[in-house]
C-alpha cells in the first residue's frame, strides 16, 4: 500500500511538470474560430515575438509585439514603435552562382513560407514562392526589380539594377491598417490551448502543427 502511494505521488508530480508550459513548448501557431465570419490566429516565435491576425467579415486586423510567460499565463505587449515599410538587406557573400532570397517577419528566426516573390530581369519575369524555411534559391543573375508580397504584410517593391554579390534578405512589416494593440494582455495556457477572455466570454485558440 505504501509503495502504491509513493508511486502515485511520483506519477502525479511528473504529470504536473509535464503540464507546466515552457518557452519552448508554447512556441507555435494557434487558431480560433468563434463564428463562421470571425476567425483569428496568433503565432508565437522562439525569440519571444508574436504576430496576431484576425478577420471579421471583409475586415482584416493585425498586430505584433513581445510575449512572455508568467506561470500558466501568456502575457502579450504590442510594439509601441512600428516601422513604416518592408525593406531589403544584403547578407553573406555569394561564393557560387546560386542566389538565396530569404523572406522573413522581422527576424531570421521567423521565416515566411508561401510569400510571393517576383524577380524581373531583362529577359523574363520570374514568379516564385518561398519554401517552408522562407527561402528561394535560383541562379544568380542581373535583377532589374524585386517584388515581395504576403498576406497582412506591406508589399516590397524594390528597383535593384544589379547582379547581387551577396544573398538577399527581405524583412516584411505588417500592414498597420486596422491594428490590434495589447498592453499586458493575459491569456490562460491550458495544454495545447490559449484562452482569451473578453467581457466574460472565452475565446479558445488551438495549437496547430503548421
Cell of 146: 524585386
State the SS3 of 120-153. ECCCCEEEEECCCCCEEEEECCCEEEEEEECCCE
Length of the chain counted residue by residue:
210
Strands 125-129 and 193-198: unpaired
Task: Tell me the pLDDT of the chain (210 aa) as tens digits.
Answer: 455 555 444 444 444 445 688 888 999 999 998 766 778 999 999 889 998 988 877 677 778 889 999 999 999 998 876 555 788 999 999 988 999 999 998 655 678 889 999 999 888 899 999 999 999 999 999 999 999 998 778 899 999 999 999 999 999 887 665 578 889 999 999 989 999 988 788 899 999 875
Residue whose cell numbers read 535593384: 160
Instruction: Give all domains of the chain, ordered by start, each with its CATH number.
Output: 2-81+176-208 (2.40.128.360), 89-172 (2.60.40.10)
SS (H, E, C) 70-85: ECCEEEEEECCCCCCC
Amino acid at each position: 500500500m505504501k509503495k502504491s502511494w509513493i508511486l502515485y505521488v511520483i506519477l502525479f508530480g511528473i504529470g504536473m511538470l509535464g503540464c507546466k508550459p515552457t518557452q519552448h513548448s508554447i512556441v507555435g501557431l494557434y487558431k480560433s474560430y468563434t463564428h463562421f465570419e470571425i476567425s483569428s490566429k496568433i503565432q508565437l516565435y522562439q525569440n519571444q515575438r508574436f504576430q496576431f491576425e484576425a478577420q471579421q467579415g471583409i475586415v482584416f486586423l493585425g498586430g505584433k509585439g513581445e510575449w512572455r510567460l508568467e506561470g500558466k499565463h501568456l502575457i502579450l505587449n504590442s510594439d509601441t514603435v512600428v516601422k513604416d515599410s518592408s525593406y531589403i538587406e544584403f547578407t553573406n557573400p555569394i561564393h557560387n552562382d546560386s542566389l538565396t532570397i530569404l523572406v522573413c517577419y522581422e527576424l531570421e528566426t521567423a521565416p515566411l513560407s508561401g510569400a510571393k516573390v517576383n524577380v524581373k530581369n531583362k529577359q523574363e519575369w520570374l514568379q516564385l514562392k518561398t519554401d517552408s524555411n522562407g527561402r528561394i534559391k535560383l541562379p544568380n543573375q542581373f535583377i532589374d526589380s524585386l517584388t515581395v508580397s504576403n498576406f497582412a504584410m506591406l508589399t516590397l517593391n524594390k528597383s535593384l539594377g544589379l547582379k547581387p554579390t551577396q544573398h538577399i534578405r527581405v524583412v516584411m512589416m505588417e500592414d498597420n491598417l486596422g491594428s490590434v494593440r495589447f498592453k499586458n494582455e493575459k491569456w490562460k495556457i491550458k495544454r495545447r490551448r490559449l484562452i482569451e477572455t473578453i467581457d466574460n466570454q472565452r475565446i479558445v485558440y488551438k495549437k496547430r502543427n503548421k
